[in-house]
Structure 1
Amino acid sequence: MKRISLWMLTLIMILMVVLPSTGHAAITASTHINLDGQELALPASGQVETVDGTVMVPLRVIVEQLGYKVSWSNKAQTATIKKDKTTLQLVAGSHVATVDNKLIDLPEAPLLQNGTTLVPLRFISENTGTTVKWDNTVKTVFLTTPKKIEPSVPDKTPDTTTPADTTNASALQAISFSDSRLTVTLNGTASPKYSALTNPNRIVLDLPKTAFSDSFLNGKVMNLGNVGKVDVAGDPDVAGIRYSLFSNAPSTVRVVMDLNNAQKYKVINNNKGVVIVELDGAIKPASTINNGTGTTTNNGNTQVSGNPNTSTDPVITNPDGSTSPASDPNNDPNTTPTDTPSTAVPVTPGSGPGKDGKKLVVIDAGHGGKDSGAISLTGRYEKNFTLPVVLKIQALLEQEPNIDFVLTRSDDSYPTLPDRVKIANDLNADVFVSIHGNSTDSAVSPSGTEMYYSRTSSLSLAQIVHKHVVAALGLSDRGIHQKSLHVTRETKMPAILIEAGYLSSPKDEALMYTDAFQEQLAEAVVAGIKEYLGVE
């Protein structure tokens, strides 16, 4: 018995020496980090570790290889990482990091190990654009930096040898796809060139004198290198949509719709910054167009339909009624096209917004993309409250036959305030409604719903919508206020901004991120809009 007890005591002592302290464990002494095929030399004082399941890696070794500069404040116990306009800050022992002045939650706090700062690998990956893969067989963390991949359109090699000439170029603000319609929104006019090609089937849309806006790129994490994709999951006719800065002289954005089968199509240019490619399966009356998030009445001059089964050259109907050839992407005189372009047949332009008796509403989801808005008590972003509400409003407005609508954003992008105003003004909308969540730095946060307007012509809209919202949400009625806000001041139609509740209030925040609250708010907004517009 004494021998067994002695043996057990010895075993326990061995385990205490061998095993790391609670919560920390070195993955293995032979763990490697490989960046773009090159193994990084790890300092003896800072090996890869796991802390409660989170992989922790030496900060300086990785980020300096990615081109970042690292500085350490011993007094503040803070690491600052900078590259171009990006600044990251991590504090030893803190579960909150700062990325360009925005607070980011960390799965584990950075820790100091013999003078080396270890940080969560996932944080490095998500904030530097690198992808991560763990190969257990060779005990190696593989990091891969993003590479610029041009869309595989064999028509012409993109001109990327010189910087893009964006002089007088229109800025592309959004690309979206819904109901078999591709919608491109610009802050100016465009003269699209397009063709349907075969082997494989695809529609190619070129937008000369067009460049990506900063807000578009900032809102699309995937758009490193000005290349990206549009989600078309589940669409029976479209296999994928991709876009890139195809040419630098002149600056030209190319959008390619990869098709599962040949499709008839039409191109609609309303000459106010909206270009649409509509497939035959989704063709609706010529008086309406879809911006990818709703339906608006066409106010433009150019509409084109295509038939991929014929071989005559595409044509565009000009504003004066004449026709002219549409440009083929196979425009290199030194090459012979192997794909057959489609036919484009003129279609009668539709009426302007509201001329068919419909009302046009612009719905704005506050903040988005790089602009998180206010941060709630539990660390949730205002932008993640406003967008779901607006998408619920969208679903309700789609059921209203007498209302057309446009969303200023339908994803996590950031249209600037002037962008949002321009969309509404250019479309000559009847109503503009912006959705927000409120916040305050006061020790005791108020609770309740507030309504804002700028011009007296908007007061009636504010009163009607506020009445519906307060009744639906059941929060304190904090009144209707006149205030000079950009989106309500610069828009030319009745415009309001709704502060649905306070993200800084425990009571309000607990409700605001629930589907029930958001549905009630959406229903109230739509009811108020309908009452104001006199729509049954």
Structure 2
Amino acid sequence: MKKLGFLMFLVVFLLAFPKVGDASSGSAKIFLDGEQLNLTSGVKVANVNNNILIPIRVVSENLGFKVDWEKSSQSVTVQNSNTTVKMVVGSNTAEIDGSQVSMNITPVLNGQTTLVPLRFVSSQMGMDVKWDNQMKAVFLSSSESMTDPGEATPSEPDPEVPGTPTDPNVPSVPGTPGTLATVDGISFSEDRLMISTSASVTPSVFKLSGPDRIVVDLPNTAFSESFGYEHTLNTQNSGELNVTGYPEVSQIRYALFSDSPSTVRVVINLTTAKNYTVSTENAGLIFVDLNATDSEPAPPIGSSGKKVVVIDAGHGGGQPGALSVTGKYEKTMNLSIAKKVEALLKNEKSIDVVMTRSDDSTMSLSDRTKLANNLKSDIFVSIHGNSNTSSTPNGTETYYTRETSIELANIIHKHLVKATGLKDRKVKPGNLHVTRETKMPAVLLEIGFLSNSSDESQLFNEDFQNRVAQGIVDGIKEYLKVQ
């Protein structure tokens, strides 16, 4: 699940436009709310290494956003009523409402035309973005017409992706031809493999020896276009999940194993034989739990009336987030605090805690919200560090989007400000994906400013993080009314 790190503009430009086969202009169609955009004559989109780039003219004329181009700094600013996105030609770092985030492809200057990544801009502006591989088309859904997270847009045919087997020792799985579901994401934490799919899928799971491994076959599935943005996927439609800290798991591989019927296969390579349980109780989520024993299978999440809390460590993997004044990554701080919160919540008998990520892995915003929604989580808490490169603000603030989240935001913020001892920047409304697309009370916590030297000196301090984690847990417990 590694993505490209920061690249110099010259390298990106040479990789993006070395020869005709790598960048095809005008080869992709764009649909907005089901209607194909009729682009102005001479305006073309480009497909660069499977990333759709569009001229900034398309953003203003067809998508209706305000666009400003600053020639001296080669920066593009895109605005709507809720969000401001600033990007710089050749830079993998964008600025979203003052906070820095990473992009997997940079804006480029092609002659007199500036091209920006369509998926990144559209998703930040609150649009749902999907790719149809068969039609070679991008489908955009505005917030007014958007379906629930994880649902397929009815007007979009499912892609049929050709592939090749990666493990000839394992037999093909039978399946019934028909509409393909897509595999949108794969993650591994707490000795539990999670596979996110666009629709309910019944997996075939079995063990093999020599070497020991667990095989998960997903009949009538293919990788979604978004999967390739978040995970390694080579030209043979296969890849490997980066897993560390689990000595009994040596490797996790995935591939489009068969195209007749189209079948995605995930293989967990083990250092020793392990038992497992499989859960498909939540439509669109498959869990293969390696914590099982012969006598005591792992109980399903949220069983026995327990409250389900999803803790989201912001960014991760190829999306490092903001860079602190001393060169530390936001993703590192987020994960450290999140894991401390997880450890404390595991001591609570009436709470089941689920992490969106437990290691330095990349996970899309939609996968984070889909996990919480499919689990029917009681609350969702996203942990972040703040940044502002134009000045040096400081302090702690908490964001929410929906009215149902205000109480949670106020309670957690009260405990969080007391724990940090930093300036109280209050509870604020914000149009953020993880607080907007979740169906339960959800908040995003900005612990402090990595761009402020005073805040930053504490954010990576162990004692400070322990206090913050305890404050978050105290707020969660007060809101859920658990002792």
* Normalised-by-shorter TM-score class: 0.5 to 0.7
Deviations 1:170-223 (A, max 9, x none): 2231231534x4333334321101222344443321012333445554444586
Matched, 1:459 2:470: no
Question: Counterparts of 2:291 and 2:424 in 1: how far apart (Å)?
Answer: 49
Matched, 1:176 2:191: no
Contact 2:230 2:364 in 1 (8 A): no
Q: Which has the higher contact order (CA 8 A, sep 6+)?
A: 2
Residue pairs, 1:512-531, within 5 angstroms: 512-531=459-478
Residue pairs, 1:375-386, within 5 angstroms: 375-386=323-334
Given the alignment, which residue of 448, 454, 460 partners 1:507?
454
Question: Counterparts of 1:482 and 1:280 in 2: how far apart (Å)?
Answer: 40
Matched, 1:387 2:402: no
Quote how far apart the aligned CAs of 1:286 are.
5.4
Residue pairs, 1:3-18, within 5 angstroms: none
Percent of residue pairs bearing the same amino acid type? 43
The residue identity in structure 1 corresponding to 2:346 is E
Question: Counterparts of 1:400 and 1:240 in 2: how far apart (Å)?
Answer: 32
Contact 2:277 2:298 in 1 (8 A): no
Residue pairs, 1:204-243, within 5 angstroms: 204-213=215-224, 216-220=227-231, 225-229=237-241, 231=243, 235-236=247-248, 238-243=249-254
Quote the residue 1:396 is aligned against. Answer: 344
Matched, 1:69 2:18: yes
Matched, 1:154 2:102: no
Quote the residue 1:361 is aligned against. Answer: 309
Question: Counterparts of 1:403 and 1:249 in 2: how far apart (Å)?
Answer: 43
SS in 1 for 2:305: coil
Quote the residue 2:267 is aligned against. Answer: 256
Question: Counterparts of 1:149 and 1:471 in 2: how far apart (Å)?
Answer: 56
Given the alignment, which residue of 486, 493, 500 partners 2:440?
493
Question: Counterparts of 1:425 and 1:157 in 2: how far apart (Å)?
Answer: 32
Assess, with a 3 A threshold, how the Cα gap between structure 1 residues 377 and 285 changes in structure 2: closer, same or farther: same
Structure 1 spans left out of the alignment, 5+ residues: 1-58, 71-81, 88-96, 105-147, 159-164, 290-295, 298-350
Contact 2:240 2:251 in 1 (8 A): no
Residue pairs, 1:91-490, within 5 angstroms: 100-101=92-93, 151-156=166-171, 168-179=180-191, 181-213=192-224, 216-220=227-231, 225-229=237-241, 231=243, 235-236=247-248, 238-260=249-271, 262-279=273-290, 282=293, 288-289=299-300, 296-297=301-302, 351=303, 356-442=304-390, 444-490=391-437
Quote the residue 1:113 is aligned against. Answer: none
CA RMSD of aligned residues (A): 3.9
Deviations 1:270-314 (A, max 9, x none): 24223233347546865723xxxxxx23xxxxxxxxxxxxxxxxx
Quote how far apart the aligned CAs of 1:496 are.
1.2
Question: Counterparts of 2:227 and 2:463 in 1: how far apart (Å)?
Answer: 31
Assess, with a 3 A threshold, how the Cα gap between structure 1 residues 217 and 400 changes in structure 2: closer, same or farther: farther
Quote how far apart the aligned CAs of 1:470 are.
0.8
Question: Counterparts of 1:166 and 1:392 in 2: how far apart (Å)?
Answer: 45
The residue identity in structure 1 corresponding to 2:359 is D
SS in 2 for 1:204: strand
Question: Counterparts of 1:483 and 1:260 in 2: how far apart (Å)?
Answer: 46
Quote the residue 1:4 is aligned against. Answer: none
Question: Counterparts of 1:482 and 1:206 in 2: how far apart (Å)?
Answer: 43
Which entry has the higher C-alpha Rg, 1 or 2? 1
Question: Counterparts of 1:166 and 1:474 in 2: how far apart (Å)?
Answer: 57
SS in 2 for 1:462: helix
Question: Counterparts of 2:231 and 2:198 in 1: how far apart (Å)?
Answer: 18
The residue identity in structure 1 corresponding to 2:18 is K
Deviations 1:345-387 (A, max 9, x none): xxxxxx5xxxx23100111222334433333334443333322
SS in 2 for 1:69: coil
Quote the residue 1:321 is aligned against. Answer: none
Deviations 1:71-105 (A, max 9, x none): xxxxxxxxxxx866599xxxxxxxxx95645799x
Question: Counterparts of 1:487 and 1:67 in 2: how far apart (Å)?
Answer: 31
Bigger Cα displacement from structure 2, 480-489 vs 499-508: 480-489
Contact 1:501 1:509 in 2 (8 A): yes
Structure 2 spans left out of the alignment, 5+ residues: 1-9, 20-47, 54-88, 95-99, 102-162
Question: Counterparts of 1:420 and 1:239 in 2: how far apart (Å)?
Answer: 25
Question: Counterparts of 1:226 and 1:380 in 2: how far apart (Å)?
Answer: 32
Deviations 1:490-526 (A, max 9, x none): 3222111111111221111222233333222222111
Assess, with a 3 A threshold, how the Cα gap between structure 1 residues 167 and 375 changes in structure 2: closer, same or farther: farther
Contact 2:165 2:258 in 1 (8 A): no
Question: Counterparts of 1:166 and 1:227 in 2: how far apart (Å)?
Answer: 25
Superposition TM-score, scaled by structure 1 size: 0.55
What is the number of residues matched between the two proteins? Answer: 343
Quote how far apart the aligned CAs of 1:455 are.
2.5
